[in-house]
Amino acid sequence: MRTARSVILVMVAGLISSLLSVNPAGGVADFGDVAPMEFYTAAVQWMVDDDITTGTSANCFSPHDAVTRGQAAAFMWRMEGEPTPASPHPFNDVSKAWQQDPISWMFAEDITTGTSSTMFSPEDVLTRGQMAALLWRLAGSPTGNPPHPFDDVTASWQQEAISWMKALGITTGTSATKFSPDDTVTRAQLATFLYRYKGSPAVEISAHSPACGTPPSPGDVKNCSSFTYQEDAQRYHDYYLPFYGDVANLDSDGDGVVCESLPSNGTTTTTTTTTTTTTTTTTTTTTIPGSPAVTSLVATPNPALVGSVVQFNAITTGTIVQYEWDYENDGTFVVGTSIGSHTFNAPGLQTVTLRVTDANTLTGTGTVDVNAYHPTLVDDADIFIFTPDGGHTGSNTSGSFSFHFDGSDVGLFGSTGALPPDVDGFDTNHEDIDALWEDAASGDLFISTNSNANVPSISTAGDEDLIRFADVTYGTTTSGSWSLYFDGSDVGLVASGDDLYAVAFDGTEMLWSSQGPSVPPYLNSVPGSTRIDVNRFTGTYGSNTSGTAAIDLALGPLGFSIPVNNDNVGALHYVPGIGLDATYYLAFWTPTSVPGLGTVSDSDIVSYNNTSGTWAMVFDASDVGIDKGTLDAFHIRANGQILMSTGLDADDPEIELDDKLLVPGITGPYSLGS
């Protein structure tokens, strides 16, 4: 560890600068280009103190330069204590000696897989999205964090990492709604990310006056109200003074002491008077103690789930002899230490206050707001995404969930009744999603609902129709437009029983299954078809739908009986093969006996290949904690992700949430559904 340098003393009224032999304030951490009071100042000081950086030259840190992937690897490796790699990396483009151990360590610890199997690209600049992923993997890839609020984060591999960074306060984004994942990480930003990752440890800011060129002018953008304490304003002023003068006009009376009306932060304030005679120089110094201050108060996690433990960490100035916490914002303080903890039992913004007392009986306070929230219940008019871990599906399903589509934002309301559920056990509007398909090229969704849907630009879409949603944004703030894609009544489907329960596409041809009547003729539009069969429609679409339909997959000959108790095909996906080969992915409305698999849940997905005639388990809902829901609709992406919409078993005594489902990993301080 490097020894922290002495803190520069702030010279106050009475200072006769011409008689003092001192250097201008300059930069901090021995770097002339690291200004005081920047967002990265403490972070750079910490990196210097912990031997993580020596700068880009003797006196320069270059905070605004881009970070390369090789540099980021070295910084993280040093931060972790320069561990010995378990094995060498496989990358043939890593040639510099100082990069070998850091990149080998990152590869051995599964922090990076490179940009290909043989390339790490150490000279490429690091993006903010890549930095998030590296730090997240370094932390062990923790899941279950509240979703981030950034609408520009679209890559699936960035979602958990950036949610974790936001939850722990490592990032606040580039704005309230933007993270800018493709922007280059600067050295200042990287220092800040690493510093916050380590919990923002206390540092003692050191300063001297090295030369590192001329810093860019900050302009006249600050005034005394921009600073909390006089010492902060003084450091800012002294840094830029040699280059641009009093650019912010902080020294109104020209005595060298700025913003004299601001309080002290507890740093020793020194008054110096110098008298010179022919034989001696006498200096008298008077030290005036300042009040202690809470310079940092961090709550982790924040936002926090109601009923979970929140930890508080404080950084203070002065010699503190007593810490007192007011957790409920009711004026009741309890004595503790600089680390506190509390469990909030009610949702909402909770203000926590820390009061500190120093050896001079002076006090200071700090506050932090904690956003306490209930678990988010996913409505049956919403869509969430299951991402399998390394292809782990089937009888050993594992993976994570994320939120994708909020139906209530765009006019779909599945559940409007108060909790507990309505008398009949079902929701009020019945606009829950029953059939789903995603267009791979546009991302548009094709949806059919359980009952008539009243959405913007479509007066009424029947449950036998298919409506198309073209998105502007997905996620917790969903927006876009609707259009009618398939009018079932035009081709013989009737609202009284032929509502679409499952939909898939093979090019322009639509595969579907319908509830239909439970007695012959079953479906008015497809002779001989039952609601356990899959049909194929060929024709034209839109408000004037026309075409023909025929049975595409008859399940009766495969061992399924004609249903009489609503055990019809509940959801469908289709993947064509070569020639006549194809694979059908199915979910059933009720637990159903499947050849070779036994009874499968109404939350599971099975597949049938029409060439081999074999059935297989694709998604076991009980493995991932959503087996209490009925899988109403799903769509499988080419990358293996599964879009899902689910309702709940109305007669399940454990379910009292009005067709809303608690999905593992989908939690947040926002309202989903109604």
pLDDT digits (tens, 9 = 90+) for 585-606: 999 888 888 998 998 988 899 9
| Backbone torsion region of residue 72, taken as left when φ is above 0, otherwise alpha when ψ lies between -120 and 50, otherwise beta | alpha
pTM of the entire predicted model: 0.46
Percent of the chain past pLDDT 90, that is, above it, reads 34
Strands 445-449 vs 433-438: parallel, antiparallel or unpaired = antiparallel
**Residue 9: what pLDDT?**
25
pLDDT, mean of residues 38-63: 87
Pair 263, 4: CB distance under 8 Å: no
Q: Residue ranges of the alpha helices (H) in 109-250?
A: 128-138, 156-167, 187-197, 230-244
Residue type, 498: D
Q: Flag whether pLDDT at 442 surpasses 70.
A: yes
At 490, give phi and psi (nearest 5°): -70, -20
Q: Is residue 340 pLDDT above 70, yes or no?
A: yes
Q: Which residues of 149-162 are buried (b: 16+ CB within 10 A; e: fewer)?
A: bbbbbeeeebbbbb
CA 431 to CA 645: how far, in whole Å?
A: 12
Instruction: Tell me the backbone φ, ψ of residue 78, rounded to 5 degrees.
Output: -65, -40
Residue 196 reports pLDDT greater than 70: yes
pLDDT of residue 672: 27
pLDDT at 426: 34
Instruction: Return the residue matching tokens 């003074």.
Output: 241
Whether residue 455 has pLDDT greater than 70: yes
Exposed (0-12), middle (13-18) or buried (19+): which is 589, by Cβ within 10 Å?
buried
47, 53 Cβ separation under 8 angstroms: yes
Number of H helices, E strands in the chain: 7, 33
Confidence band (pLDDT; 50, 70, 90) for 414? low
Which of 416, 311, 162, 670 has the alpha carbon at shortest distance from 327?
Answer: 311
Q: Do residues 503 and 436 touch, judged by C-beta distance below 8 A?
A: yes
CA atoms of 92 and 88, how far apart (whole Å): 11
Q: Is the pLDDT of residue 232 over 70?
A: yes
- In the chain, the percentage of residues whose pLDDT exceeds 70 is 78
587's tokens: 């979910």
